[in-house]
Chain A
Amino acid sequence: MGAGDGRPRTLVLGLGNELAGDDAVGVRVARALLVELDGVADVVESSASGLALIEILAGYDRAVIVDAILTGRNPPGTITEMGMADVGRVVAPSTHQAGLPELAAVASRLGLAFPSRTVVFAVEVEDPYTLGAGLSEPVAAALEELIDRVRHRVRSWATGDPGPDADTSPGG
């Protein structure tokens, strides 16, 4: 954890299943930045979901999250940058999954330190279901820009630029 022990207080979290086609995109970004951001941010890859993510996010001041998204509303490879305010509360009741705002609300209620600044890079993907398929062409083509944008965001924070998403508190 980043709090109070001299280690970075910024987290880069790459989410996804590294084996399942385009679902690997978040993990690929994390791996690309692991060494480069050493000492600036903790870079973590995870396939955890929902409230299990609280245990990863707790203790950091700032977080960049990279994940795949399949909405069908944008062409594969489209990168959407979101702050907490854009993410919206998850309401899908199927497995009581939880999104970031709910995680933040739970953390806040429990008195856990939770990132006050969070940026999510969501990448529209094509096929996140085929094991061993690797990244599809459009997602692979977006990888470099994605890495660059994550790098830029973390570096900006490190130099004191609060960025456009300075206030991402859950608001209760």
Chain B
Amino acid sequence: MTEILIDPITRLEGHGKIHIFVNDEGSVDHAYLQIPELRGFEKFAQGRRAEDMPQITSRICGVCPMAHHMAGTKTLDDLFHVDPPPAAKKVREMVYDAFMVEDHALHFFFLGGPDFVVGPTAPKAERNILGVIGKVGLEIGKEVIGVRKELRDLMVEAAGKAAHPVFGLPGGVSKPISPELRDRFVAAAAHAVEFGKFSLQVFRDVVLANQQYVDLVTSEAYTHRTYYMGLVDAQNRVNFYDGHLRVVDPDGREFLTFEAREYLDHVAEHVEPWSYIKFCYLKDVGWNGFNDGPDSGVYAVAPLARLNASDGMSTPVAQEAYEELFATLGGKPVHFTLATHWARLVELVNAAERMGELAADPEIVSPDVRAIPTETPTVGIGVVEAPRGTLFHHYETDERGLITMANLIVATQNNAARIALSVDKAAKALVHGPEVDEGLLNEVEMAFRAYDPCFGCATHALPGEMPLIVEIRRMDGELVREIRRD
């Protein structure tokens, strides 16, 4: 048997490695993604003041600090048994929606989208934002940068810092929104909605109009019939900030609903010796190996999962886009992993519209943004939808509010089992024998890039050389071949 190892030798960037084992007949036996992960979170958290957790957890991750900050803040509400005033909840959600827009924009145009906009088989050197600019026009690059800057400036003003927000407190937020800032949120939301509509049109023109891309999106290699989880509001519409968890089965029927506090009753973790990552599965179904179907507890989170798990979007333009997506791809649920990119744009529009709704709500400028906690803290569990999927925080404290136990389930953990399915299936469909074509490797990587997995929650790139190395080894360790891309 031969192992093919795709290993972007990076610094600490938590890039994963894809291991592909090829048997003596030349076909893929199995493949998986190995993910390095930060260690020691629970120990690190123990003994710290609970109210520091939204700041600490936001510093764990350079990619989605706002998601950790917000999940941590909501966990503190629960921990201190305090219900924030309505205006505080609206401020949090509005700022959070701004974050969703800018993060989704970055992913679609800079990270995952180039695979499609430029083309999955285009040379690697062109599958980046420069390639996108080349195909869609220079203005789009400026627009992505401009929209992100506008939103990040607003987040800085409302939340203290965009990278490490500080405004979330148990029972509310640290300061109200001024009328002037509200006006800027209104204007930015309108701008973001137009940007979102434009982005959807890019997807239609470039991806949907190209049968080759559509065939790839809907191909069996990128299809898994799993369960889907997402946060929904009282009308079962997607909500990123609050609501209850809803799970649909592989046929799209509601399987389960639960509150964040009940997550341990429904989510369990499976351990494999080859990965630090614990693979989440639905307790109600059980672990049945890396398989899809109704008998396997494997589920997915993130944009496509959220759309599948909901009955619709809360805003008009996004609802239209939601209906178009499902009508185009054969109805709910959609099991095509690569459709996640499209779902991400539907969500981008929804977050922009929702931000505008909240900014236009007269209560958003209310000075009543804090309820002071008065009760002894015990156990707190909170949830938000991070851009990459459902994010749970769980803290327990002593009577002084010092952490005795802390647990996080991040989006990539929720998705880990399905990501493993995707890598394995794509490899089996696309790789035949040790003579691996670069384009095929790219397509294997596309399988997990759609999820936008957050490796190690420590992502920041050394601005340096990161060659891709593919090692093909026999099982006894002998190096058969090395392919290096510099």
Q: Which of A91-112 contact B (CB under 8 A)?
A: 91-100, 102-103, 105-106, 109-112
Give bound CA distance, A117 to B64, whole Å: 30
Q: Which one of A16, A55, A99 lies within 8 Å of B464 (CB-CB)?
A: A99
- A139: chain B residues at CB < 8 Å are none
Give bound CA distance, A109 to B139, whole Å: 11
Contact B464 A130 (CB under 8 A): no
Asked whether any CB of chain B lies closer than 8 Å to the CB of A133, the reply is: yes
Contact B461 A109 (CB under 8 A): no
Give bound CA distance, A18 to B55, whole Å: 12
Which residue of chain B lies nearest to A82 when distances are taken between CB atoms in the complex? Answer: B464
Contact A96 B449 (CB under 8 A): yes
Contact B13 A49 (CB under 8 A): yes
Q: Which of A48-72 contact B (CB under 8 A)?
A: 48-55, 65, 67-71
Q: Output the residue of A18, A69, A103 with the most chain B CB within 10 A.
A: A69
Contact A19 B15 (CB under 8 A): no
Known contacts A20-B458, A49-B62, A55-B145; A97 and B39 CB within 8 A of each other: no
- B464: chain A residues at CB < 8 Å are 67, 69, 82, 87-88, 90, 99-100, 120, 122
Contact B62 A17 (CB under 8 A): yes
Known contacts A94-B16, A98-B461, A129-B36; A109 and B62 CB within 8 A of each other: no
Contact A48 B463 (CB under 8 A): no
Nearest-neighbour CB distance to chain B for A50, whole angstroms, equals 5
Q: Which of B85-93, B107-115, B319-327 contacts A (4 or more CB under 8 A)?
A: B107-115
Which residue of chain A lies nearest to B452 when distances are taken between CB atoms in the complex? Answer: A95
Asked whether any CB of chain A lies closer than 8 Å to the CB of B133, the reply is: yes
Nearest-neighbour CB distance to chain A for B60, whole angstroms, equals 6
- A15: chain B residues at CB < 8 Å are 460, 462
Asked whether any CB of chain A lies closer than 8 Å to the CB of B44, the reply is: yes
Contact B38 A131 (CB under 8 A): yes
Known contacts A19-B56, A96-B112, A96-B127; A131 and B44 CB within 8 A of each other: yes
Give bound CA distance, A17 to B39, whole Å: 13
Contact B44 A17 (CB under 8 A): no
- B149: chain A residues at CB < 8 Å are 55
Asked whether any CB of chain B lies closer than 8 Å to the CB of A4, the reply is: no
Q: How would residues 76 to 94 of chain A score, 1 for a CB under 8 Å from any chain B CB and 0 otherwise?
A: 0000001000011011111
Contact B9 A71 (CB under 8 A): yes
Nearest-neighbour CB distance to chain B for A19, whole angstroms, equals 5
Q: Which of B437-472 contact A (CB under 8 A)?
A: 441-442, 445, 449, 452-453, 455-456, 458-468
Contact A132 B43 (CB under 8 A): yes
Contact B466 A99 (CB under 8 A): yes
Asked whether any CB of chain A lies closer than 8 Å to the CB of B84, the reply is: no
Nearest-neighbour CB distance to chain A for B38, whole angstroms, equals 5
Asked whether any CB of chain A lies closer than 8 Å to the CB of B485, the reply is: yes
Chain A residues touching B, range: 35 or more
Known contacts A18-B59, A49-B461, A130-B38; A68 and B141 CB within 8 A of each other: no
- A97: chain B residues at CB < 8 Å are 10, 13, 15, 461, 466
Q: How would residues 45 to 63 of chain B score, 1 for a CB under 8 Å from any chain A CB and 0 otherwise?
A: 0000000000010011111
Asked whether any CB of chain A lies closer than 8 Å to the CB of B344, the reply is: no
Contact A20 B461 (CB under 8 A): no
Q: Which one of A23, A93, A110 lies within 8 Å of B141 (CB-CB)?
A: A110
Nearest-neighbour CB distance to chain A for B374, whole angstroms, equals 31
Contact A17 B163 (CB under 8 A): no
- B128: chain A residues at CB < 8 Å are 96, 98, 102
- B456: chain A residues at CB < 8 Å are 129
Asked whether any CB of chain B lies closer than 8 Å to the CB of A8, the reply is: no
- B133: chain A residues at CB < 8 Å are 109-110
Contact A99 B465 (CB under 8 A): yes
- B130: chain A residues at CB < 8 Å are 102, 105-106, 109
Q: How would residues 2 to 35 of chain B score, 1 for a CB under 8 Å from any chain A CB and 0 otherwise?
A: 0000101111110110000000000000000000
Which residue of chain B lies nearest to A63 when distances are taken between CB atoms in the complex? Answer: B463
Q: How would residues 151 to 195 of chain B score, 1 for a CB under 8 Å from any chain A CB and 0 otherwise?
A: 010000000000100000000000000000000000000000000
Nearest-neighbour CB distance to chain A for B123, whole angstroms, equals 11
- B40: chain A residues at CB < 8 Å are 130-133
Asked whether any CB of chain A lies closer than 8 Å to the CB of B138, the reply is: yes
Give bound CA distance, A99 to B44, whole Å: 31
- A93: chain B residues at CB < 8 Å are 8, 124, 127, 441-442, 445, 468
Nearest-neighbour CB distance to chain B for A24, whole angstroms, equals 10
- A67: chain B residues at CB < 8 Å are 11, 460, 462-464
Give bound CA distance, A149 to B16, whole Å: 33
Contact A112 B145 (CB under 8 A): yes
Q: Output the residue of B12, B16, B43, B130 with the most chain A CB within 10 A.
A: B12
- B56: chain A residues at CB < 8 Å are 19
Q: Which one of A54, A90, A110 lies within 8 Å of B461 (CB-CB)?
A: A90
Nearest-neighbour CB distance to chain B for A23, whole angstroms, equals 5
Known contacts A95-B449, A98-B128; A17 and B467 CB within 8 A of each other: no
Contact B138 A110 (CB under 8 A): yes
- A132: chain B residues at CB < 8 Å are 40, 43-44
Give bound CA distance, A149 to B148, whole Å: 34
Known contacts A97-B466, A129-B38, A130-B38; A55 and B129 CB within 8 A of each other: no
- A54: chain B residues at CB < 8 Å are 145
Asked whether any CB of chain A lies closer than 8 Å to the CB of B106, the reply is: yes
Contact A19 B44 (CB under 8 A): yes
Give bound CA distance, A19 to B127, whole Å: 33
Name A residues whose Cβ lies closer than 8 Å to a Cβ of B. Answer: 15-20, 23, 46-55, 65, 67-71, 82, 87-88, 90-100, 102-103, 105-106, 109-112, 120, 122, 125, 128-133
Name B residues whose Cβ lies closer than 8 Å to a Cβ of A. Answer: 6, 8-13, 15-16, 36-41, 43-44, 56, 59-63, 65, 106, 110-112, 114, 124-125, 127-130, 133, 138, 141-142, 145, 148-149, 152, 163, 441-442, 445, 449, 452-453, 455-456, 458-468, 485-486
